[in-house]
Each structure stands twice: as structure tokens, then as C-alpha cells.
Amino acid sequence: MRILIASKTLEVSPPLRRFAQEQALRLSKLEQRISKVRVSLEKRVQKSKRDRNALVKYVVNLPGKTLVTKVKAPDMYQAIIDATDRAIRQTRKFKEKRLTKQRHA
């Protein structure tokens, strides 16, 4: 599984990159054949302090399906955690759906 971490608007520091890689590696525990995980980090400038400024986008390439997850949060680390959890849920749901179809066929 290849993990690509990129950002257009933010300089990705080594601790942030390491944290994003550790979170993306949680997807490998699902025993899926994931070929590539692309993590996009973006910091947006908003006028209000209550707005969610951190945007994290996961693109998970599975055989036959590409899963996309977008999460906004006030903190970049929290956005990465939330996006990882959502990507894990989507991947698990896709796996269960495929297994159910195979059992009924």
C-alpha cells in the first residue's frame, strides 16, 4: 500500500506527515487489497474563529472502487483522525457489501 501525502496551501511539517502516515496505516489492518491512499491536507483562511479551517481529503483506491472522504475540523490533527475513521468505515462497508453479494450468488 502506497501512502501519498500532499498539500497545496500548507507546508507539511515532519511531525504532521508522520502522524498522517500512522493514521493512514490503520487502513491496512482491514485486510483489503488497497493499492494507494492519497491524503490531501488543506488549510483555509476563514473570518470567523468558529469555522472549520482544516480540510483533509482521503482517496482510497480499492480493486473496483475508489472511495473519497472529506472532513473539515478546527484542528488539522483532529481532521486527520476524523477522516481516517470515516475512510475505515467506508472501506469496511464496501468489504461487507461485497461479501454479502458473494454469499447470495
pLDDT digits (tens, 9 = 90+) for 50-93: 677 899 999 999 888 899 999 999 889 999 999 999 999 999 99
Mean per-residue pLDDT, 9-30: 92
Q: Which amino acid is at 60?
A: V
Is it true that domain 2-104 has CATH number 3.30.160.100?
A: yes
Query: Could you give the percent of the chain with pLDDT greater than 90?
Result: 59
What is the DSSP code (8-state) at residue 27?
Answer: G
Rounded distance between C-alpha atoms, residue 65 and residue 91, angstroms = 10
Can you give the pTM of this predicted structure? Answer: 0.87
**C-alpha cell at position 81:** 483522525
Name the helix (H) or strand (E) containing 90: helix 76-104
Please give the pLDDT value at position 48.
Answer: 61
The pLDDT of residue 46 is above 90: no
Sheet strand arrangement including 65-73: 2-7, 36-43, 54-62, 65-73
Q: Which residues contact 96 (CB under 8 A, 6 or more apart)?
A: none
Rounded distance between C-alpha atoms, residue 74 and residue 77, angstroms = 9
Contact 56, 39 (CB under 8 A): yes
